[in-house]
């Protein structure tokens, strides 16, 4: 009998959620995705000192102003890790724009364009790169502008159907709803979860998936931020699932069939489109306490890890 990872791969494209090059090699995923937290964790390991040193040397050679030099080194470091990962996986590599720009359309577009230029300079096909951006109103506008420039995006920190719908309407390439973080919030507010069927994170992604099918959106839905194998298997059939190496190994170590949960039946005929102008979007987010809190928390967390990465870079730059 096949293991559950092999069975899951019959229904869904598997993506490795890690910035650790050795881990990605071990799990043999098709795509991979990183974020500032994962890059920080990997960059803190001695075996990746060369990638950090290269980023610092590049920034010194190409930028004289101290703060701009720091930002360039940060982007180059992310691209260095992404470049290495692109040699391991056959598909897409997602690389995140500085989370501190989550409410700045123009700056997000500029930094994304620079990352793509750095990838091109490193010999990596930009068509294999997805630029990750937080799914704020401004982030989706930036993604729409980048799409017009031929740059595909992965809109991350999705917690609400309104965020997902805005991305789908804008024709964003891919979204990442955060399953585990949604469930964490509900558990912290007294909700008991007994299985994937009553798991708020799993149910949220199922609702988004059906909404996209009903609206005929082509945007890829990629479930992310899993806490358990049950959550992963509860979304079998989702377009993509980005899964941490430890959960991938758990799936590989367990035999048994995996039932398709998404896409087996047509979406409900009762699904209606959301109103998605700016005022309506912001109001829908305001009315969803979980989504508002988790989006803000996620941006703050990524920004904090970005600041820590910058401190590591700063320590290597000349005074």
pLDDT digits (tens, 9 = 90+) for 23-58: 777 777 788 888 888 899 888 889 999 999 999 999
Which percentage of the chain shows pLDDT scores above 70?
A: 100
pLDDT at 265: 86
Residues 276 and 163 sit within 8 Å (Cβ to Cβ): no
State in Å, rounded, how far the first CA of the chain is from the last one: 60
- Radius of gyration of the chain from its Cα atoms, rounded to whole angstroms: 19
The phi and psi torsions of 6 (rounded to 5 degrees) equal: -65, -45
The phi and psi torsions of 165 (rounded to 5 degrees) equal: -65, -40
Q: Grade residue 318 by pLDDT with cuts at 50, 70 and 90.
A: confident
Q: Which helix (H) or strand (E) holds 220?
A: strand 220-223
Alpha carbon distance 124, 113 (integer Å): 14
Alpha carbon distance 249, 51 (integer Å): 27
What does the pLDDT look like over 191-213, one tens digit per residue?
Answer: 999 999 999 999 999 999 999 99
Choosing from 4, 76, 132, 294, the catalytic residue is 132
pLDDT at 21: 80
Q: Grade residue 221 by pLDDT with cuts at 50, 70 and 90.
A: very high
Q: pTM (2 decimals)?
A: 0.94
pLDDT at 174: 98
What does the pLDDT look like over 170-193, one tens digit per residue?
Answer: 999 999 999 999 999 999 999 999
CA distances from 313 to 43, 63, 112, 198, 318 (A): 10, 14, 20, 44, 10
* Residue with token string 């005022």: 279
- The count of residues in the chain is 319
Q: Indicate if 45 belongs to the active site.
A: no
Q: What is the CATH number of the domain that holds 180?
A: 3.20.20.70
Number of independent structural domains in the chain: 1
Average pLDDT over residues 114-134: 98
Task: Kindly report the average pLDDT of the chain as a whole number.
Answer: 95
274 pLDDT more than 90: yes
Q: Grade residue 17 by pLDDT with cuts at 50, 70 and 90.
A: confident
Range of the structural domain that residue 175 is part of:
4-316
Question: CA-based diameter of the chain, in Å?
Answer: 63
Q: Which residues contact 119 (CB under 8 A, 6 or more apart)?
A: 79, 82, 83, 95, 125, 126, 129
């Amino acid at each position: 009998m096949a293991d559950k990872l092999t069975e899951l791969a019959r229904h869904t494209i598997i993506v490795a959620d890690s910035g650790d090059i050795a881990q990605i090699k071990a799990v043999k995923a098709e795509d991979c995705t990183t974020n500032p937290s994962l890059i920080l964790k990997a960059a803190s390991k001695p075996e990746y000192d060369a990638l950090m040193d290269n980023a610092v040397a590049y920034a010194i050679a190409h930028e004289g102003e101290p703060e701009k030099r720091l930002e360039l080194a940060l982007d180059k470091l992310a691209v260095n890790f992404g470049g290495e990962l692109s040699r391991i996986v056959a598909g897409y590599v997602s690389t995140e724009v500085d989370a501190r720009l989550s409410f700045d359309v123009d700056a997000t577009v500029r930094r994304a364009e620079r990352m793509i230029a750095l990838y091109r300079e490193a010999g990596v096909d930009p068509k294999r790169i997805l630029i990750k951006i937080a799914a704020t109103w401004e982030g989706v506008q930036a993604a729409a502008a980048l799409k017009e420039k031929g740059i595909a995006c992965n809109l991350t920190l999705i917690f609400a159907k309104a965020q997902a719908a805005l991305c789908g309407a804008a024709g964003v390439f891919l979204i990442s709803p955060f399953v585990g973080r949604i469930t964490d919030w509900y558990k912290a507010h007294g909700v008991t979860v007994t299985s994937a069927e009553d798991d708020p994170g799993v149910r949220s992604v199922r609702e988004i998936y059906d909404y996209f099918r009903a609206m005929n959106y082509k945007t890829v839905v990629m479930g992310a931020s899993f806490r358990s194998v049950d959550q992963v298997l509860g979304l079998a059939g989702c377009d993509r699932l980005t899964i941490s190496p430890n959960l991938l190994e758990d799936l590989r170590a367990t035999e048994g069939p995996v039932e398709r949960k998404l896409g087996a039946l047509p979406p409900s005929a009762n699904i209606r489109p959301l109103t998605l102008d700016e005022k309506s979007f912001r109001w829908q987010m305001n009315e969803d306490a979980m989504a508002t809190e988790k989006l803000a928390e996620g941006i703050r967390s990524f920004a904090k890890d970005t600041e820590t990465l910058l401190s590591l870079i700063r320590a290597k730059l000349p005074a």
